[in-house]
Amino acid sequence: MVDLESIKQLIDMMVSNDVMEVTMKKGDEEISLKRPGPAVAPVIHAPHPAPAPGPAPVLTSLTEAPSPPVSDDSHLIKITSPMVGKFYASPSPGAAAFVKVGSEIHPDTVVCIIEAMKVFNEIKAEVHGVVEKIYVGNEQAVEYGQPLLGLRRP
Amino acid sequence: MVDLESIKQLIDMMVSNDVMEVTMKKGDEEISLKRPGPAVAPVIHAPHPAPAPGPAPVLTSLTEAPSPPVSDDSHLIKITSPMVGKFYASPSPGAAAFVKVGSEIHPDTVVCIIEAMKVFNEIKAEVHGVVEKIYVGNEQAVEYGQPLLGLRRP
Amino acid sequence: MFKRILIANRGEIALRVLRACREMNIETVAVFSEADRDSVPVELADHAICIGGNAPRESYLRPDRIIAAAEVSGADAIHPGYGFLAENAQFADMCRECNIAFIGPSAEAMRMLGDKATAREIAKKAKVPVVPGSEGIIESDEDLAPTAEKIGYPIMIKASAGGGGRGMRIVRDRTELHGMVKQARQEAKAAFNNDAIYLERFIDQPRHVEVQVLADSQGHVIHLFERDCSSQRRHQKLIEESPSPAIDARTRKYLCESAVRLAKTAKYVTACTVEFLVDSKLRYYFIEVNTRIQVEHPVTEMLTDADLIREQIRLAAGEPLSIAQKTVMPHGHVIECRVNAEDPSYGFRPCAGLIERFRPPGGPGVRVDTHAYQGCRISPYYDSLIAKVIVHQPTRLDAIRAMQRALREFVIEPIKTTIPFHLRILEHERFVEGQVDTGFIERSLL
Amino acid sequence: MFKRILIANRGEIALRVLRACREMNIETVAVFSEADRDSVPVELADHAICIGGNAPRESYLRPDRIIAAAEVSGADAIHPGYGFLAENAQFADMCRECNIAFIGPSAEAMRMLGDKATAREIAKKAKVPVVPGSEGIIESDEDLAPTAEKIGYPIMIKASAGGGGRGMRIVRDRTELHGMVKQARQEAKAAFNNDAIYLERFIDQPRHVEVQVLADSQGHVIHLFERDCSSQRRHQKLIEESPSPAIDARTRKYLCESAVRLAKTAKYVTACTVEFLVDSKLRYYFIEVNTRIQVEHPVTEMLTDADLIREQIRLAAGEPLSIAQKTVMPHGHVIECRVNAEDPSYGFRPCAGLIERFRPPGGPGVRVDTHAYQGCRISPYYDSLIAKVIVHQPTRLDAIRAMQRALREFVIEPIKTTIPFHLRILEHERFVEGQVDTGFIERSLL
């Protein structure tokens, strides 16, 4: 059924004519195309739906955060901050980081320390995976739910 | 299944007529197209596009209007009030009405009188047709644009 | 009191009048053009009547249709708002002939004060200072110097047939007089084939200060203090405030009393505004009377706690003033910003279209008068005012800060508005110091 | 003055505090639960930090997370709003330990006034009338009659171990006393296995009248007059107003002075509210002190033109009061209605969900404090207050009409709100007459 060339042409027509949605059914065949609205790239549903992105950090002008994870990180497992505080990548100044890109980690692996109210909290991975992204710089402030690491399945 | 040429033509029609949505079904076949469109654009359901309805009278609690014309009147040609005033169906009290259901009227036919500021204005049909609906009762107040008569083509 | 008022206007002022009527238990009739079918006043009014097409001349400027609407709806009074037919004496006449009360002054008072020369005569009779001038054209050059001396420098030479600045000259002192007159005459002759000129005192960098007046048919006249409307762009008011930061208590007293004398002399009834220019030495000169409620009336309402529309309706119905002069207690400082759907980056061109996000400011000391709402369409047929934001605070500095706070939280998307321009004015040093004359914005911000 | 204030709250009060900060040029840090990510205070704050999940115990009730957020954001003060941690003395202690100013009283003052018995002792010391009572349990029935005589009838018998009304009896006069005590003891014994009782004057159909107090660390204490909050449903205030329609000038004076004496005696600093019950003979009795800003503070703000939040922040920063008692000029009449997302037809059950249409009222004399907007989602995790509508008018009758006008133009769809119920109260004869005691709504409107 999926005639890619036809779909490509359909999408072109949608984009150039500002069409938001096309649905076609015939028997048990169905094609559905949707675009979010004017001036935005078409999102094609089916075959594989994209997972919802994790919570994006709001306004962190205080913390000079690197750019938040964008959609191409969506396949990664995120370890998020369970509290508000200051992120430490290593157990003490000058020491090696708990994890780096490529580290394979296990649920019990300590991945960072978050300091809140003078208490240093070791944060464990709780999952198994290989570190592919580290979103937060050393000594940066983090909020609840903020992605710290992105892992791929080992 | 995908007849691109038909769809292209459909989209062109949608764009040039500011149509927001088209849905077609035949047996187990179904095609549906949507465009964002302005909030006030008419929504046209295929197969036969309906003309835009005349302006519906707003709040006429003063005037005890009959129900405004509903969508099954949409095929009728409307004669609307060109002014605000009081509608008279006949030239004088007791006289026969200018028109009744079934009357064939011509552009010069006087269809009613509207009194505004003590002036009695004869309203001419301006079109040719056969009266199928009279929307306004004698001595009822009418607003600008309010449908007075519905005609079908003779 | 009236039973049912027809509101012969649209937008925020129609809503303002409707609110006053509801608070007075008076029924309302909204009239509207086809473009305004989905407007808030039409939704809220007890009765609503479509009177014509979108162009004002097919609807809001049609006395016949408005009066017909009043007749079919049984309205016993018409409130004209501002603009449209509000200062149309013929419309006021027609209302009277049809036994419908016009909520405003008599047609006679409107005509008298609407004519500049007659208004000037009334002002003189009321001993209200007018801009000194030659009272007519200068016939002979021999009269020039003595007349100029009497008027006082600086002087403006104006072409009698003039317009567009041609034939106009500013004379700073007597040594320039004859030369400038010669130039002006030549220019006027060339432009209008008429070299007649007259002289007028030139008011350099004036403030625009106006006084709100209320008068009843029993002969009582009061003022509700002044509004300073010097923040203008091309004679369009952008920001209004009260008290005026430019005048002292003594000038305020004289100015307000002058306005009352003028209204008394004209035997005026209902609400009006007496406009003055004030120069840097606090000399003030009457310029004109507006015989209607004004856009910026909320400034006075917040300053004094009076309700000008309710009062105007009462006065038009023949009731006596509900406020005595000695009970008018202005308190604190009030600023109003007119938020227009205009793009300040492109010469303030109007921006019509759909409002997709709309979140007006709120909280302490903030009043918003608006007919806009999320999902409404700003139509290109009418003026671009979409909201008035008015703030009331103990001091002028507090008021400026509160206005900045209010405008910064006002969300209107995606159409462009004058909000960013207002914010530029509000943080300009000269505005903060209260040093604004009618030319300030054009000199400093454009 | 503080440089950066963290607002440890959500909803309309977070927005209210943010507005005050902006007007004072103080930076703001919003903290929020995941459900509040798209809220207005989060959008408007200079910095915003997510502190946890939706349940209050995972976010707004977590002192550790809030203080950590203050630390990472460099906030030098925390405003707790009302509810959540506003009256949590331990939180105030923690702030102090972390060198962060708590915008409220000291933890000591909070503890002292938060304890009913201690607060009663302070009131007595300040010669503020308290509800007369037996001051402890009645040991012997021989003491009964003399104690009751001293307290004055009607008398309420209360079980010392009591709760839920069990062991309670109202005694109208002395002939009933011994019989009622016997019954009460039996009931208390059966319910709590403890037949100890004490006596208290029974205040029949009381008004709830509270006084707004401000105090600085220099020892100045002023009041900003009273608020009448008698329109309640199950001890939840629905409508508040000022002046109280129930009391006369003399009672007002005594009441307000009592509140000031009490705050002085407690050496209180910042803002608090002293609550009283007032009986039909205008006798008043202290009941408790609220050591925070209250939901209904805008009533006082509109009545007096004071800005309570700005003042509270100044006082917490150690500055002296910016207002002197003699400059507090209450004028006109103010009414506030709390618009809750609740369905009055179904036992006031909360209505969460998407607000598809939202158009708040505006115009003269209307203030709206709301965090809601068209397109926002009312979450089921928090209290149901979505807007406070406050009106200010010259007279109480004008204020009632203005409130009716404002509520009738308030569009909130499709969720149900208490607006229709407020309209029923506002048009009830007894409300219009000002004859409302704390039981009125339950007796007459439910």
Q: Which partners does chain C have (≥3 C-beta pairs < 8 Å)? A: B, D
Cβ–Cβ of B117/C42 closer than 8 Å? no
**Chain A contact set for D45 (CB, 8 A):** 59
Per CB-CB distance under 8 Å, the chain A contacts of B12 are 17
Side-chain-side CA neighbours of D365 within 13 Å: the count stands at 34
Report helix, strand or coil for C273.
strand
Active site residue D233: no
CA distance linking residue D213 with residue D327, whole number of Å: 14
> Which residue among B1, B34, B36 sits closest to A29, beta carbon to beta carbon?
B1
Is D409's Cβ below 8 Å from some Cβ in C? Answer: yes
Contacts of C47 in chain B (CB under 8 A): 59-62
- Cα D104 versus chain centre, distance: 15
- For the segment D193-222, what is each residue's pLDDT rounded down to a tens digit? 888 888 999 999 999 999 999 999 999 999
Is the predicted pLDDT of residue C128 greater than 50, yes or no?
yes
Instruction: Enumerate residues 6+ apart whose C-beta is below 8 A from D138.
Output: D144, D147, D181, D196, D197, D198, D199
The answer to whether residue C228 scores a pLDDT higher than 50 is yes
Q: Which residues of B touch A3 (CB under 8 A)?
A: 2
| Segment holding D402, helix H or strand E | helix D396-409
pLDDT of B15 reads 59
Number of CB pairs, chain A paired with chain B, less than 8 A apart = 61
Q: What is the CATH number of domain D4-103?
A: 3.40.50.20
Per-residue model confidence as pLDDT tens digits over D312-330: 999 999 999 999 999 999 9
pLDDT tier at D45, thresholds 50, 70, 90: very high
Higher pLDDT, B50 or B27: B27
Band the pLDDT of C103: cuts 50, 70, 90.
very high
CB contacts under 8 A, D 82-141 vs A, are 98
Instruction: Confirm if C47 and C26 have CB atoms less than 8 A apart.
Output: no
pLDDT grade for B42, boundaries at 50, 70 and 90: very low
Average pLDDT for residues C365-382, to the nearest whole number? Answer: 97
Per-residue pLDDT at C56 exceeds 50? yes
Size of interface A-D (CB pairs under 8 A): 66
Q: What percent of chain C has pLDDT over 90?
A: 90
Active-site residue (options: C62, C169, C207, C292)? C292
What is the ipTM for the molecules in this complex? 0.79
- Chains A, B in contact, 3 or more Cβ pairs below 8 Å: yes
Task: Quick: pLDDT tens for A44-101.
Answer: 333 333 333 444 334 344 444 444 545 578 899 999 999 999 999 999 999 999 999 9
Find the residue in A nearest to D38 (Cα).
A58
Classify C37 as helix, strand or coil: coil
Q: Which residues of A touch B (CB under 8 A)?
A: 1, 3, 6-7, 9-10, 13-14, 17-27, 29, 31, 37-38
Q: Please name the amino acid found at residue B89.
A: A
Q: What percent of chain D has pLDDT over 70?
A: 100
Interchain proximity B35–A19, CB inside 8 Å: yes
| D128/A23 Cα distance (integer angstroms) | 76
Is D68 an interface residue toward A (CB < 8 Å)? yes
Query: Which of A62, A87, A118, A121 to probe the D interface (max D CBs under 10 A)?
Result: A62
A38 — pLDDT class (breaks 50, 70, 90): very low
For the stretch D352-407, pLDDT in tens is 999 999 999 999 999 999 999 999 999 999 999 999 999 999 999 999 999 999 99
| CA-based nearest residue in chain B for residue A39 | B36
E strand segments, D330-427 = 333-340, 342-343, 349-350, 353-354, 357-359, 366-370, 377-378, 385-393, 411-413
Kindly list the residues of chain B whose beta carbon comes within 8 Å of any beta carbon in chain C.
38-40, 55, 57-63, 83-86, 116-117, 141-146
Residue D227 · residue D219 · CB < 8 Å: no
Is D127 a residue whose pLDDT tops 80? yes
Which chain D positions have a beta carbon within 8 Å of A62's beta carbon? Answer: 47, 72-74
Cβ proximity of D239 and D172 under 8 Å: no
Contact B58 C51 (CB under 8 A): no
The one catalytic residue in D120, D292, D310, D367 is D292
Specify the pLDDT at position D28. Answer: 98
Domain ranges of chain D: 4-103, 132-201, 207-444
Question: Nearest CB to C23: which of D15, D22, D401?
Answer: D401
User: How confident is the model over C354-380, as a mean pLDDT?
Assistant: 97
**CATH superfamily to which D132-201 belongs:** ATP-grasp fold, A domain (3.30.1490.20)
What is the rounded distance in angstroms from the CA atom of residue A128 to the CA atom of residue D172? 74
Judged by CB atoms closer than 8 Å, whether chains meet at B58 and C37 is answered as yes
Q: Is A24–B12 a contact, with Cβ atoms under 8 angstroms apart?
A: no
Say if residues C295 and C338 touch (Cβ distance below 8 Å): yes
Cis bond before residue A47 (omega within 30° of 0): yes
**Neighboring chain A residues of B14 at a CB cutoff of 8 Å:** 17, 19
Confirm or reject contact between C268 and chain D (CB < 8 A).
no
pLDDT at B19: 59
CATH of C207-444, one of 3.30.70.20, 3.90.110.10, 3.30.470.20, 3.40.50.80: 3.30.470.20
Residue D355 or residue B56, greater confidence? D355
Q: What is the reported pLDDT for A26?
A: 64
Contact D109, D93 (CB under 8 A): no
In the numeric block, the tokens 């269809």 are attached to B111
User: Which has more confidence, B74 or A27?
Assistant: B74
For the residues C241-249, what does the mean pLDDT come to? 97
Which of C53, C68, C98 shows the shortest C-beta gap to B84? C68
D165 token code pair: 């009304």
Chains linked to B by 3 or more Cβ pairs within 8 Å: A, C
B55: pLDDT strictly greater than 70? no
Dist CA D134 CA D336 (whole Å)? 38
Which pLDDT score is estimated for B37? 41
- Are residues A22 and B33, on separate chains, in Cβ contact within 8 Å? yes
Mean pLDDT of C201-216: 96
Tell me which residue in A6, A14, A17 faces B2 most closely, judged by beta carbons. A6
C chain contacts of residue B40, beta-carbon cutoff 8 Å:
377
User: How many Cβ atoms are within 10 Å of C314's Cβ, its own excluded?
Assistant: 22
Rounded Cα distance between B35 and B15, Å, is 8
- Amino acid sitting at position A88: Y
Q: What percent of chain C has pLDDT over 70?
A: 100
Torsion angles phi and psi, residue C291, rounded to 5: -95, 45
Distance CA D373, CA D360 (A): 9
| pLDDT at position B80 | 96
Q: How far is C346 from chain B (nearest CA, A)?
A: 25
In chain C, what residues touch B57 (CB-CB under 8 Å)? 50
User: Taking CA atoms, what residue in A is nearest to B22?
Assistant: A22
Distant-in-sequence, close-in-space partners of C398: CB < 8 Å, separation ≥ 6: C333, D23
Mean pLDDT in residue range D334-349: 96
Inform me whether the pLDDT recorded for C422 exceeds 70.
Answer: yes
Distance CA B107, CA B70 (A): 25
Give the lowest-confidence range in C269-273, D19-23, D145-149, D283-287: D145-149
**Is the CB of D384 inside 8 Å of chain A's CB atoms?**
no
Cα–Cα distance measured from residue D28 to residue D78, given in angstroms and rounded to the nearest whole number: 10
Would you give the end-to-end CA distance of chain B in angstroms? 42
Burial class (CB in 10 A: 0-12, 13-18, 19+), A18: middle
Q: Which residue is associated with the tokens 């003594």?
A: C250
Q: What is the mean pLDDT of residues D422-426?
A: 98
Of C40, C358, C405, the CB nearest to D23: C405
A interface test, pick of B9, B33, B43 with most A CB neighbours within 10 Å: B33
Q: Which of C207, C205, C206, C187 is nearest to C197 (CA)?
A: C187
Evaluate whether C304 touches C326 at the Cβ level (below 8 Å): no
Write out chain A residues lying below 8 Å of B28, CB-based: 25-27
Please state at what angle helix C297-304 crosses helix C308-316, rounded to 10 degrees.
100
Whether C359 has a pLDDT exceeding 70, the answer reads yes
